[in-house]
């Protein structure tokens, strides 16, 4: 079980073609603050039908995109 499983499930349940979340929102949903390990864990996301689009350090947001074949 990944520490971001609850975030991945949240994205899948929402089903949006695109969703942008702040670092704070991600921490609340995942139950753990967003940290550098997210870059490793994001590789799990395609199993849930999504991929990471843009990560903005300035705006402190992460864009999630529904995979084309699942859109």
Q: What is the DSSP string of 11-41?
A: HHHH--SEEEEEHHHHHHHHTS---TTHHHH
Given a cut of 90, whether residue 71 has pLDDT beyond it is no
Given a cut of 90, whether residue 19 has pLDDT beyond it is yes
Percentage of residues in the chain with pLDDT exceeding 90? Answer: 92
pLDDT digits (tens, 9 = 90+) for 32-66: 999 999 999 999 999 999 999 999 999 999 999 99
Number of structural domains in the chain = 1
Beta bridge partners of 19: 64
pTM of the shown model: 0.89
By the 8 A CB rule, do 17 and 70 touch? Answer: no
Instruction: Please report, for the chain, how many H helices and E strands are present, in that order.
Output: 3, 3
C-alpha span between 66 and 71 (Å, rounded): 6
Q: Which domain holds residue 40?
A: 5-70
C-alpha span between 2 and 23 (Å, rounded): 18
């Amino acid at each position: 079980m990944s520490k971001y499983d609850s975030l991945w499930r949240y994205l899948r349940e929402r089903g949006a073609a695109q969703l942008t979340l702040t670092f704070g929102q991600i921490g609340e949903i995942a139950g753990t603050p967003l940290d550098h390990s997210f870059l490793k864990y994001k590789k799990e996301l395609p199993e849930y039908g999504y991929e990471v689009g843009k990560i903005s350090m300035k705006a402190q947001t992460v864009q999630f995109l529904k995979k084309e074949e699942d859109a």
